[in-house]
Structure 1
Amino acid sequence: MNFTHDVIVIGGGAAGLTAAGGCALFDLKVALIEAREMGGECLNDGCVPSKALIAAAKRAQEARTPLRHGVMLTKPRVDWRGVHAHIHDAIAAIAPHDSQSRFEEMGCEVFRDWAKITGKHTVKVGKRTLSAPRIVIATGSRPALPPIKGLGDVPYLTNETLFDLTERPEHLVVVGGGAIGMEMAQAFRRLGSAVTLVEPGALLARDDPDHVAIVRQAMEGEGVRFIEGKASRVEARGDGVRLHVALNGATGANSETIEGSHLLIATGREANAKGFGLEEIGVEIGAGGIVVDRRRRTSLKHIYAIGDCRDGPRLTHVSGYEGSNVALEITLGLPTKVNWSALPWCTYTDPEVAQVGMTEKDARAKHGDGVSVVVERFDDNERAIADGDTIGQLKLVLKGKTVLGASIVGKNAGEMLLPFSQSITGKSSTFALGSAVIAYPTRSEISKAASFAAWEPTVFGEWPKKWAGTLAKLRRRMA
């Protein structure tokens, strides 16, 4: 058939923009379709606005310890209009990177409408029917709503509406103890809201539990209240809400009622996979999203699904990685399989909690007694001591001298993952990192310390000591 394009990309978020831009830079004829805001969830109601809010909250928190390092600060006064403006200024500053005009300059034909797949190679958008030998689905995800009785009858917030608040919540009730719930709970508390977080399971369940405990203790110290239980029912109460929680455990009360001015639902994401015509042409969709292989191909191999719409990890950097892989495969014919062995993530609480590769728990489940763990604490790091911020530690998870994973909790923990990503993928080693010259004083010295500790038993073992003794005797005789 005569195709209108070489590739059609449905979705203008991180995954779709990377795939479309990559194909366009190789001079392929690309159709890029986005019905909503360019930039997707990350730019408009995810990473960018949340980190802007966290920055404002950190600014306020710094002033809550009035005398520190011999410097006196005044009590913070939060201007919510200014916070709101800062969030949307950040979005506006980054928006040109993801704009329609930028991708048109790259060579993409951009369509701002809803897409419907009408055949194995055809997509209808508005009144036009497009066709291409390759189609990329990058339709993202939306907030997952828990089965709380009465939720549809009360006003509630998700990350898609949270950043449009024009007034500060008096009491924010957060349902969900994942990354979004934890970050927003701390941020709003620092900005002056009372905050209660409800979670029936483990907080930040993917992360090292020892490190999550450090984050929880810090947040409790700032006034965030945690309730371990399941939100079962919600009802309107005046201008706010009343949430009923079935508490965990058999001791004490069985339930608790929480009254708040605002309710934030932060219980994860679900794929935007249905309603685009995929089911009608035979693309398999599972409970977690569109089913794909390691090359991100669907059950119809010429159709790819990347980013949050497919079954798999939902992170912005994962979306960009998959978009790059698919662009290489489509343009150059290079089969590119995803590799999650060095997958990093970070939750931007204070302290941050960051992970790359396997946690200690995951490593022991897979490798058993063959796993060893090196721990280095920030209270031994001289930059942390000078900063007066020694909370946290680094766990290096090893099998022999091979790095399986690294877990870090502390200030700027996410910035310290890169060398361990390199080690896990074989592009570096603990020996190389342990012998590197690192600027002093920096927090990254803790990475060198942990890596050297992995080699310490070998470097200072029985045979190196015997050899050193032999050389010393020879030098004495020769002197």
Structure 2
Amino acid sequence: MSERIEADLCVIGAGSAGLSAAAGAAILGLKVVLFERGRMGGDCLNYGCVPSKALLAAAKTASRIARAGEFGIRLGPAEIDYAAAMDRVRAVIAAIAPTDSVARFTALGVRVIEAEASFVGPRRVAGGGVEVDAKWLVVATGSRPSAPPIPGLAETPYLTNETLFDNRARPSHLIVIGGGPIGLEMAQAHIRLSSQVTVLEAARVLGKDDPELANAVTLALRAEGVAIREGAPIASVARGADGVSVTLDDGTRIAGSHLLVAAGRKPRIEGLGLERAGIAHGPAGIVVDRRLRTSNPRVYALGDVAGGPQFTHVAGWHAGLFLRNALFRLPASVVGAAIPAVTYTDPELAQVGMTEAAARAQGHAVRILRFGFADNDRAQAEGETRGLVKAVVDPRGRILGAGIAGPAAGELIQPWVLAMSKGLKIGALAEAIAAYPTLVEVNKRAATSFYAPLFLAKRTKTLVRWLLKLA
């Protein structure tokens, strides 16, 4: 006979959104039940953000050793121990895991049930021999890698972000299907760890990003030896004698030791019994309104499963919106938020708001402000001069979007995020005092360039001469 629990909140999924919602509610004194069928911490901790950045850190260390001669330091060639690098990845995960652990959430007062859960009614969830009736329910089951419909792929062994970090044998030739952030990050990591790497993209790599900024990243990866083929649809995939074989539509055959599929993600909604709870869903995920409510007003969907931007920081933000909307009855909407997106290659690529193309497509009159890292003194000192800041503003200085390709772009995008979130105009960034010498000066210099036409105008010079006569 099943155990029956009456709860204030029932959460399905212990990733960023689910954990944040459960912790917040428990701290506020609610009775919370949390279901998780896999690993606590979800995709980000175990298969995504954390392991990928740990591997990128190892790869960047190898790159710095290779560049040491530029700084007058003589070192021999780096010896790559791929298995040890992967062991460190696991160690980083283990160091962070206690924050997301069953023990921590139990200590917060959350009842954690390590089992698969599904709806059995509009406000009832069952799993692991337990049935939970709750006032509020949250679905935060995330997303999983999507395998494209390529002939032969199902019969060919391949890696995804969920299996890549369990591989301790260095790929001699890694073929990557997909030129998005995951594909390019892992391509650069492996080229720096002494693998041969080929990236295959049917359209344009980093297709959601500004082409000018994406090109800065593409040039950097190609300079390091990554073979990137754009506009290269795949005809078939097959198991090869020593690994895998990929045939392109034009007949080109590429053989490799390992295949990584990084061609998008799809929401995890299978087996949830959404129909039994009256929850509408589609290919993009669970259908939600601007407050993240589903068609069942007692159920919210948060994070990747809600069909929006698939970022851990968005999932955590969703949890905060849920707490405001459901518990405090304070209207909070996902519409109009300034959400940053970062690709953690070297140089990094960060974007918030509209790209130039998107702004023009929506009919905005725009001015484009640029400033290159090559003109930044700190970047010159550190030998990190690739890339630029590119801001999209309207003629009155309203910031429509900003993108950065360059060192620490993920950090440097934050002033633009803050400005857009608070409705600040370009003058706010231009007037801010930036410490010298810092990389953040690139933001100020880009913002200041908005006023260049005014300072260089003939009428301005005439006014200055007139004022000098009065001095």
Shorter-chain TM-score bucket reads over 0.9
Shift of residue 341 of structure 1? 4.2
Shift of residue 66 of structure 1? 5.0
Counterpart of 1:405? 401
The secondary structure found in structure 2 opposite 1:163 is helix
Counterpart of 2:373? 378
The secondary structure found in structure 1 opposite 2:252 is strand
Of 388, 393, 409, which residue of structure 1 is paired with 2:383?
388
Output the CA distance in 2 between the equivalents of 1:299 and 1:131: 18
Of 323, 326, 330, which residue of structure 2 is paired with 1:327?
323
Further displaced range: 454-463 or 92-101? 454-463
TM-score normalized with structure 1 length: 0.94
What is the identity, as a one-letter code, of the residue corresponding to 1:308? D
Output the CA distance in 2 between the equivalents of 1:334 and 1:219: 46
Shift of residue 461 of structure 1? 5.2
Output the CA distance in 2 between the equivalents of 1:64 and 1:394: 27
Of 154, 160, 163, which residue of structure 1 is paired with 2:162?
160
Of 233, 238, 241, which residue of structure 2 is paired with 1:235?
238
Output the CA distance in 1 between the equivalents of 2:322 and 2:75: 51
1:439-478 alignment runs, 5 A limit: 439-458=435-454, 465=461, 467-475=463-471
Shift of residue 458 of structure 1? 4.0
Output the CA distance in 1 between the equivalents of 2:421 and 2:338: 7
Counterpart of 2:84? 82
Counterpart of 1:202? 204
The secondary structure found in structure 1 opposite 2:6 is coil
Of 168, 173, 178, which residue of structure 2 is paired with 1:171?
173
1:244 matched to 2:247? The reply is: yes
The secondary structure found in structure 1 opposite 2:198 is strand
TM-score normalized with structure 2 length: 0.96
Counterpart of 1:304? 300
Output the CA distance in 1 between the equivalents of 2:429 and 2:283: 42
Counterpart of 1:284? 280
The secondary structure found in structure 2 opposite 1:94 is helix
Shift of residue 339 of structure 1? 3.3
What is the identity, as a one-letter code, of the residue corresponding to 1:209? P
**Is the Cα contact below 8 Å between 2:244 and 2:255 reproduced in 1?**
yes
Counterpart of 2:146? 144
Shift of residue 346 of structure 1? 0.6
1:333-388 residue CA offsets vs partner (Å, 9 max, x unmatched) = 112111344110110111111101111111111134x1110111111111111112
Of 248, 258, 268, which residue of structure 2 is paired with 1:272?
268
How many pairs are equivalent? Answer: 466
**Is the Cα contact below 8 Å between 1:26 and 1:331 reproduced in 2?**
no
The secondary structure found in structure 1 opposite 2:144 is strand
Q: 1:55 to 1:340 in 2, by over 3 A?
A: farther
**Is the Cα contact below 8 Å between 2:5 and 2:130 reproduced in 1?**
no
Structure 2 spans left out of the alignment, 5+ residues? none
What is the identity, as a one-letter code, of the residue corresponding to 1:272? R
Q: Quick one: percent identity of the two aligned structures?
A: 44
1:257 matched to 2:253? The reply is: yes
Output the CA distance in 1 between the equivalents of 2:253 and 2:460: 65
Output the CA distance in 2 between the equivalents of 1:427 and 1:97: 34
Further displaced range: 78-87 or 2-11? 2-11
**Is the Cα contact below 8 Å between 1:344 and 1:357 reproduced in 2?**
yes
Q: 1:129 to 1:191 in 2, by over 3 A?
A: same
1:294 matched to 2:290? The reply is: yes
1:13 matched to 2:8? The reply is: no
Shift of residue 418 of structure 1? 1.0
Of 128, 131, 147, which residue of structure 2 is paired with 1:129?
131
**Is the Cα contact below 8 Å between 2:123 and 2:277 reproduced in 1?**
no
Structure 1 spans left out of the alignment, 5+ residues? 247-253
Output the CA distance in 1 between the equivalents of 2:253 and 2:336: 41
**Is the Cα contact below 8 Å between 1:20 and 1:327 reproduced in 2?**
no
1:86-120 residue CA offsets vs partner (Å, 9 max, x unmatched) = 10111011111111111122221111111011000
Output the CA distance in 2 between the equivalents of 1:288 and 1:302: 21
**Is the Cα contact below 8 Å between 1:171 and 1:260 reproduced in 2?**
yes
The secondary structure found in structure 2 opposite 1:77 is coil
1:223 matched to 2:225? The reply is: yes
1:98 matched to 2:100? The reply is: yes
